[in-house]
Amino acid sequence: MNNVFDAEGLDHGVIIVGAGVSGIYQLYRLREAGIDATVIEAGSGPGGTWYWNRYPGARFDSESYSYGYSFSDELLQEWSWSEHFAGQPETQKYLNYVVDKFDLRRDMQFNCRVSAARFDEAECRWIVCLEDGRELTCRILLTAIGMLSAATMPRIEGVQDFEGEAFHTYYWPREPVDLAGKRVAVIGTGATGVQVISEIADKVKSLTVYQRRPNWCAPLHNSPIDDVTQAKIKASFEQIFAKCRSTPGGFLHGPDPRSFNEVSPRDRQALWEELYASPGFGVWIGNFREVLMQEGPNAEYSTFIADKIRKRVKDPETAEKLIPQDHGFGTRRVPLETRYYEAYNRDNVELVDVTETPIERITSGGIRTSEGERLFDLIVYATGFDAITGAFDRIDITGVGGRKLRDKWDDGPVTYLGLQVSEFPNLMILAGPQGGSVSTNFPRGIEEAVDWLTDLIIHMRDTGSDRVEPQPDAEHMWAEHVKDAYRYSLFQTARSWFTGYNSNVPGRDRMRYLIYNGGSPRYRKWLADVADDGYRGFDITG
């Protein structure tokens, strides 16, 4: 039987776009299976989000040892994380270590940005166009382009007029940025803005924070990992990953098994004090299930968190500005912070509420609001991302009959299992919309998706099949299933990237069902059932 991945006219059996957490593991699995693959990466090295996001304060908010890869016992024993929640430099170093340990770099092409990709129906192959003018062909095109990799600038007049330093956090310079003695403005108080503000408040001459809508934040409680704890971690990886597999989010934290109403108000307060004082995402996802599903319990918990903010921020007026009024705790992505609220107690830090004092424009010297102009040496745009679909929209992806992916997804993405799209044969998606990885502890979900897709590719090779595409009915079923799952959570009540909103992107002012809310165990069962039923819902031909 001919190997459909080594056919004449193909440069590679599989092209993987992106050398981040997803792309690294996908290349490892394909190499292990003996399938020719190459990685195309826009950056000068591997790491994905941990390559690009070099801003001060960038770090994990899931435990380091639950974030690293689980596929190699040798790797788990060799690598020692220095902190419970590692910073960006250490994480980038780790990913480079993995790439070099498994000799993956020789199959990676760096400084290569994909501009377009089109499906050649006659030859059943993808033609991948690079910005350097080259065209590469492959049987399978596999995207690992990240869920938060399309940075968005604010739609404010005059952004190009500023004569000082200015950049989006995603493009923080590789060379050190001198902050000492600088007048700095940060626009945005999402997860990235919270980390930046916390880290630089005591390093700059003055810091002015421009906030449109506050987020609910909670303490990270990071700390170094001592030798005794390190030994315990390395002896417990089987239990650590088993725990992650058992929880809806793939984290070490799972919901409290008790019902909200069966616990007395006093005992609820005691649990919440414990969660607030503990490290990591327990404060968000270690709570009663009803807190993220019902408005009454959510309002009670939001009041508890609001009181914590009031106690940490000395100025009552500032504290109230930092307490969200438009959504309940946990209905948007919760930033975990270190001394964030205490930053506003400093004399050199000021909070500007742009709903009260709107930004009119960026000037050559700074920022002008309705109250006048302030001068700055540096402006940091912590204005987020066109989440999940934005990175796809920036590539001109053309499927069968000239169908454009961005057109198909214009009213919201539709996929089958979050892994493939009808009318786009042999296009496989990692960390795309409606998949299990984007709403979980990322590497835990990614390893499952990579393993499943690798098995599908091996199945195609072993059966001599050269084309796989989801059936439209299966795609429609999955879209309705994803949409239905939103009814059971309060995520749908908040404007966030979970629900597809982004005021910095035209057309992102309506509900879009981007993430799978069914939880990791349920998603894993879907994958297993589909595969066991002969890849139900897919047309696999050759």
Q: Model-level pTM?
A: 0.97
CA distance 280 to 267: 21
Q: What is the pLDDT of residue 542?
A: 86
Q: Give pLDDT tens digits for 362-413.
A: 999 999 999 999 999 999 999 999 999 999 999 999 999 999 999 999 989 9
Over 80: is that where the pLDDT of 226 sits?
Answer: yes
Strands (E), 354-409: 359-362, 366-369, 372-375, 378-381, 396-398
pLDDT tens-place string over residues 313-370: 999 999 999 999 999 999 999 999 999 999 999 999 999 999 999 999 999 999 999 9
CB 216 within 8 A of CB 305: yes
Q: At 1, list the tokens.
A: 């039987």
- List 138's β-bridge partners, or say none: 12, 126
CB atoms within 10 A of CB 289: 19
Mark 381-418 as b/e (b = at least 16 C-beta within 10 Å): bbbbbbbbbbbbbbbebbbeeeebbeebbeebbbbbbb
Amino acid 478: pLDDT: 97
DSSP assignments along 341-367, one per residue: HHHTTSTTEEEEETTTS-EEEE-SSEE
Distances (CA, A) of 437 to 163, 260, 431, 463, 518: 41, 28, 6, 28, 11
For the ranges 42-56, 137-151, 460-474, 483-497, the lowest mean pLDDT is seen at 483-497
Residue range 423-474, pLDDT digits in tens: 999 999 998 999 998 889 999 999 999 999 999 999 999 999 999 999 999 9
Residues 6+ apart with CB under 8 A from 177: 165, 378
User: CA separation (Å) from 196 to 215, 336, 352, 410, 469?
Assistant: 14, 12, 16, 33, 43
Residue for token digits 């003695």?
Answer: 181
Q: What is the pLDDT of residue 8?
A: 85
| For residue 191, pLDDT beyond 80 | yes
Amino acid symbol at 111:
N
Asked if pLDDT for residue 78 goes beyond 60, the answer is: yes
Which of 110-124, 199-213, 494-508 is predicted least confidently? 494-508
Above pLDDT 70, what percent of the chain?
Answer: 100
Please report which helix (H) or strand (E) contains residue 224, including its range: none
Closest CA to 67 of 335, 451, 441, 520: 441
Residue 524: exposure state from Cβ atoms within 10 A (0-12, 13-18, ≥19):
middle
Strands 372-375, 366-369: parallel, antiparallel or unpaired by DSSP? antiparallel
pLDDT at 508: 87
Token pair for 501 = 């909103």
Question: Which residue in 33, 183, 46 sits closest to 104, CA to CA?
Answer: 46
Q: Alpha-carbon torsion 523, 528, 529, 533, what sign?
A: positive
Q: What's residue 1's pLDDT?
A: 42
Among all chains, which residue has been given the structure tokens 């004090």?
273
Per the rule left: phi > 0, alpha: psi between -120 and 50, beta: everything else, 40 is beta
Determine the pLDDT at residue 509: 86
State the pLDDT at residue 2: 61
Give yes or no for a contact between 130 and 138, defined as CB atoms under 8 angstroms apart: no
Letter for the amino acid at 138? C
Residues 6+ apart with CB under 8 A from 534: none
Where residue 83 falls among pLDDT bands split at 50, 70, 90? very high
Looking at residue 142, its amino acid is L
Q: What is the dihedral of CA 103, 64, 306, 499, to 10 degrees?
A: 30
Determine the length of the chain.
542
What percentage of the chain carries pLDDT values higher than 90?
94
| 3-state secondary structure (DSSP) of residue 401 | helix
Q: Which of 90, 74, 71 is nearest to 27 (CA)?
A: 71
What type of residue is 48?
Answer: G
